[in-house]
Amino acid sequence: MDAHHPDDPRFDATAQGQADRRRLLRAFNLSLGFILLLVLAYSAQGSFDWRPFAIAPHAAEGLVGILTAPLLHGSIEHIASNAIALLMLGTLAGSVYPKATVRALPVLWIGSGLGAWWLGDVGTRHLGASGLGHGLMFLVIGLGVLRRDRAAIATGFIAFLFYGGMLLTVLPREPGVSWQAHLGGAVAGLIAAWWFRRSDPLLPRKRYSWELEEEQAAPAFDDEADTLEPPSPREVPVLWDRPAATPGVVLPFPTRPASILEPDDKPQRLD
């Protein structure tokens, strides 16, 4: 990320805005290019036998599908639903975490395929990029939890607002839906978020004036000291000093009226 803090003297609001737009446009173009690749692959599926390129669970020949199955789809509705999710989540993740997203894509790709191959039923075929979309979703959520800066938290909330339902599709719900690939992509997204959480630099946090005043007033910490000893009275800064010219005032203590009974006195009964 090429973001600078507003307090940095090198900060230029116009240049920063242009850099943000370039990063957003680059992530959008790459996501759109991948969707066009999916469309081309789907249009060519009718001219060849796609079954050897799908994931066949628990079969050695089915391991080839881990690399090729995300490019295949079963219907127009299937590719349309995956294309919208990949376009939105890919643009969101690539614009906020450009380095982490590029490094996480192989992990998400392989993780979703391994989930379908390992957990799928024997005799079935798994294909589609929905596992990759789930991986991007959990990558953004995981980075938001781990990084906890303003941009990461906002990105996680946006992803959850649009695709929070992916938290439920990692479990078996509908027949014919590869929840195994969804679960594999989700686990891979969380692992990638942990591995690449520091790939993109954090935006420096704004320092407020009261924080700077506290640091200036605090005594210097001795790194070589073996124990934490309290500072001497001379090292403690004086925040307020009473003026010497102000005379002291003695307040008179009022006497108690005789009508008030003492604690040990007992009231007399009047007949």
Phi, psi of 76 (to 5 degrees): -65, -40
Give tens-digit pLDDT for 204-237. Answer: 666 666 666 666 666 555 454 555 667 777 777 7
d(CA 70, CA 183): 15
Q: In the chain, what are the domain boundaries?
A: 14-195
What is the distance in angstroms between the CA of the first residue and the CA of the last residue of the chain? Answer: 94
Flag whether pLDDT at 271 surpasses 50.
no
CB-count exposure of residue 41 (10 Å: 0-12, 13-18, 19+):
middle
Please report, as a single letter, which amino acid is at residue 97: Y
Q: Which helix (H) or strand (E) holds 193?
A: helix 179-195
Flag whether pLDDT at 72 surpasses 70.
yes
Phi, psi of 9 (to 5 degrees): -60, -20
pLDDT at 20: 81
Place of tokens 């679960």: 183
Residue pair 24/18 in contact (Cβ under 8 Å)? The answer is no
Flag whether pLDDT at 262 surpasses 70.
no
The CATH number assigned to the domain with range 14-195 reads 1.20.1540.10
Give tens-digit pLDDT for 19-60. Answer: 888 989 999 999 999 999 999 999 999 898 899 999 999 999
pLDDT at 248: 64
Residue 50 to residues 70, 74, 79, 242: CA-CA distances in angstroms? 12, 10, 15, 88
Residue, of 31 and 3, whose pLDDT is higher: 31
Using 50, 70 and 90 to split pLDDT, how confident is the model at 9? very low
Residue, of 183 and 265, whose pLDDT is higher: 183
Q: Which residues pair with 55 in a beta bridge?
A: 126
Residue pair 169/112 in contact (Cβ under 8 Å)? The answer is no
pLDDT at 191: 96
CB-count exposure of residue 167 (10 Å: 0-12, 13-18, 19+):
middle
Cβ neighbours around 163 below 10 Å, total: 21
DSSP annotation of 41 reads H
pLDDT at 265: 52
Q: Which two tokens stand for residue 223?
A: 């790194």
Give tens-digit pLDDT for 87-119. Answer: 999 999 999 999 999 999 999 999 999 999 999
Residue pair 125/56 in contact (Cβ under 8 Å)? The answer is yes
Q: Which two tokens stand for residue 243?
A: 């003026």
CA gyration radius, the chain: 33
